[in-house]
Amino acid sequence: MQGATVTLTDAGGKSVNCPADATTGSFQCDVTGLAAPFVLVATGNVADSQATLISLSATAGTQTINITPLTNAIAATIIGDNPTKLLSDTSLLQSKVTTSSISTTVKAYSDALADLLAATGNAGVDLISGPLTAGAPGLDRLLDQVKVNVLPNGGVQLSSVAGASSDTPAVLQLAPGVAPTASDSASLPSVATIGGAPVSNLPVASDLAGLQAAFNQCFGGSSTASARQSGSIAACSQIVVDDVAPGVRQAGVPATYLSNGANVDQDLGAGIVADDAMNGAVFSLPEIIRVQAADKVWIKVSWTRADGIRDGMQQIAQIALQPSARTSSDNGWRLIGNQRAILSKVNGNAQRWDWLNPAKPFTGTNAYVSSLTLQVATVDKDGVAVDFAIVSGPGLHNGVLLKPSSGVCDTLNIQAQLKAGETASDVLSKYPGVQPGCRNNYRLAGVAQDVSAQGSFTWPNNSAWSNPQLSAADLGAITPFSVYTFDIYRYDKTTTPWTPKQVYSYPVRLRTPPPAPDTLRQYAWQDVSKEARDLLTPGSSTTFTGGATFPMSWTSASGVPFVKKTNVQIRSTIGAPQVFVSGTARAKPAAANTVVRLAVPGDQGASFPSVAAATGATDMSFANLNWSDAFDLNFSTSVEYDH
């Protein structure tokens, strides 16, 4: 956790700051005059996001308290709710946090993690007070092997790297207030099974320190885009597999980088290498998400630019160098990409939707909606167009059909939810033509924001909305690392009728599932300012009258990852023809309660049309704030005015 701030709050609500060492992460709290029990909170940057973690102490006196994802889960289980509620509810702290509740819950987690504790040299170590130093023996080794996600309602998801890397990923899901048991250790294995064979010596994040160093040397110092592209920076040749000489490349390692249909120049070159905004960027140690083989890992690479913008990318890395070519500073890890010939992605989303025209709410009332983004490119690595794709997996009923859009879209458009028994051969006759718009967000389920307004909530009969919407049981079947199959087709037009020919099929894993919508009522959301809402609303005294940029604003919320980007769309038929302009701006991390203002430019220099006096049936003004948590679950607050 980079740049963490630590605060302690006592049973009476008094708070003190606990100065933290930016290098070691250690902190110290002076509790003189304060009354136990205590809640400690650490907030800081994790990869390209931000996290808030909680820990507890039931007694005063000199002691060691760790703040980690595991102590956050322990706190959530003790109170049976979102642990951040302890910061504002002293009655909850006083009633729930006792010596007994802490010791009992710590023992429950220790029993469930017994195999991992033993495998990492932590048998008998206390999860709250045990030795914890980054990169050293102790609990840091355990935290390298376990992923912990506390949901907004206090539910907990636990997985081990070994479990996430097994042939059948094991994930332990705990309902709010439910502690794990010793029998749950089966869901948290310390040895992975990959390709049917056990692998106990799994790669860890520190194994990728050489790759991190290569990134920092390639982009750091006086590095420029032209220098990186010219090959004058030696470290830049230690990042991707393309730069490994054939004579020293490991057998079975691909010779060239390929990721979602893009080669290294199209993906990394056009993305970060050729971008002078990346000059001086600082890269974090990559996070291992899942081990695919003893020498191949799914990782998250994250960085902070010199201007403060934080970003990241998911990648596949493999040991590409033969042993004789490896050195103490270069152990051979290189990016190889996912080796897919066409873009195929699935991500989980949670959305808050506010309708600025109460007479025209698409969902009947303001709503929370959980969804999956399904992305398939319109062309493959060779620039050859595809005709359609069928994506199947948990939450998608009989599968979702994606086809090209009548608009200008980089990805296929959600066309239909397939009916039982329908096959690829049925697509041409049953779902001819294309639909307008660019839609790859498949809504799974939703609820009204206000519980009392649930009777007004409606679920649109629309191909991009699951019909029927998923039940709680359906949503529960979508777990971390669920597999989605992307079957991608072209028509054989030499036959009559045309015959679909499958050209690609990829199993794609979902890192983090979307939460059940009713839990989103308990989440703290970033929110669009009233000032920006008024600009988007016809008839207000400050309605936006058009211009090259739209002035977007919000106040950064506490306890929520920072907003990473904001998007504005305005469609108007005033002075026909219809004008539709969309624009995006990226935001720097902002401290809680800070007002953030961004001038959002229209795409490709286009000017936004006026919102004032817009009356057309298709006219709309829309804006959203986007952020993600440390597990790559995407969140957005969207505000929209429809006529």
- Reported as a pLDDT band with limits 50, 70 and 90, residue 576 is low
Residue 61: per-residue pLDDT: 92
DSSP 8-state code for residue 120:
T
Contact 513, 482 (CB under 8 A): yes
Question: pLDDT digits over 19-30, tens only?
Answer: 998 888 899 999
DSSP 8-state code for residue 249:
B
Rounded Cα–Cα distance for residues 583 and 277 (Å): 19
Which range in 85-89, 558-562, 617-621, 632-636 is most confidently predicted, on average pLDDT?
A: 632-636
- Reported as a pLDDT band with limits 50, 70 and 90, residue 235 is very high
Contacts of residue 451, Cβ cutoff 8 Å, sequence gap at least 6: 521
pLDDT at 574 over 80: no
- Reported as a pLDDT band with limits 50, 70 and 90, residue 407 is confident
Residue 68: per-residue pLDDT: 96
pLDDT at 392 over 70: yes
User: Span 40-46, mean pLDDT?
Assistant: 92
Place of tokens 């879209």: 409
User: Span 442-458, mean pLDDT?
Assistant: 97
Percent of all residues in the chain with a pLDDT value above 90, rounded to a whole number: 87
pLDDT at 192 over 80: yes
What residue ranges do the domains of the chain occupy?
2-162, 205-335, 344-516, 524-642
Contact 378, 401 (CB under 8 A): no
Residue 59's alpha-carbon distances to 36, 65, 83, 109, 509, in angstroms, are 5, 11, 19, 21, 44
Residue 435: per-residue pLDDT: 80
Residue 47: per-residue pLDDT: 87
User: Span 352-370, mean pLDDT?
Assistant: 96
Contact 477, 394 (CB under 8 A): yes
Mapping DSSP to helix (H, G, I), strand (E, B) and coil, where does residue 369 land? strand
342 torsion bin: left (phi>0), alpha (psi -120 to 50), beta (else):
beta
Please report how many Cα atoms fall inside a 13 Å half-sphere around the Cα of residue 38, on the Cβ side.
Answer: 30
pLDDT at 575 over 70: no
Residue 32: per-residue pLDDT: 95
Mapping DSSP to helix (H, G, I), strand (E, B) and coil, where does residue 75 land? helix
The verdict on whether omega for the bond into residue 358 sits within 30 degrees of 0, i.e. cis, is: no
The verdict on whether omega for the bond into residue 468 sits within 30 degrees of 0, i.e. cis, is: yes
User: Span 301-325, mean pLDDT?
Assistant: 96
User: Span 148-176, mean pLDDT?
Assistant: 92
In 3D, which of 172, 96, 150, 282 has the Cα closest to residue 559? 150
Residue 590: per-residue pLDDT: 92
Would you give the end-to-end CA distance of the chain in angstroms?
45
Q: What are the backbone angles phi and psi of residue 394, rounded to the nearest 5°? A: -55, 135
Question: pLDDT digits over 492-539, tens only?
Answer: 989 888 899 999 999 999 999 999 999 999 888 999 999 999 999 998
Residue 428: per-residue pLDDT: 85
The three-state (H, E, C) secondary structure of 177-246, written as one string:
CCCCCHHHHHHCCCCEEECCEEECCCCCHHHHHHHHHHHHHHHCCCCCHHHHHHCCCHHHHHCEHHHCCH
Contacts of residue 294, Cβ cutoff 8 Å, sequence gap at least 6: 194, 199, 201, 202, 203
DSSP 8-state code for residue 465:
B
What's the whole-number average pLDDT of the chain?
94
Q: Calculate helix-pair angle for 69-79, 99-112, nearest 10 degrees.
A: 120
User: Span 449-468, mean pLDDT?
Assistant: 96
Rounded Cα–Cα distance for residues 172 and 167 (Å): 16
In 3D, which of 144, 157, 252, 242 has the Cα closest to residue 202? 144
User: Span 175-192, mean pLDDT?
Assistant: 95
Residue 369: per-residue pLDDT: 98
In 3D, which of 637, 628, 625 has the Cα closest to residue 567? 625
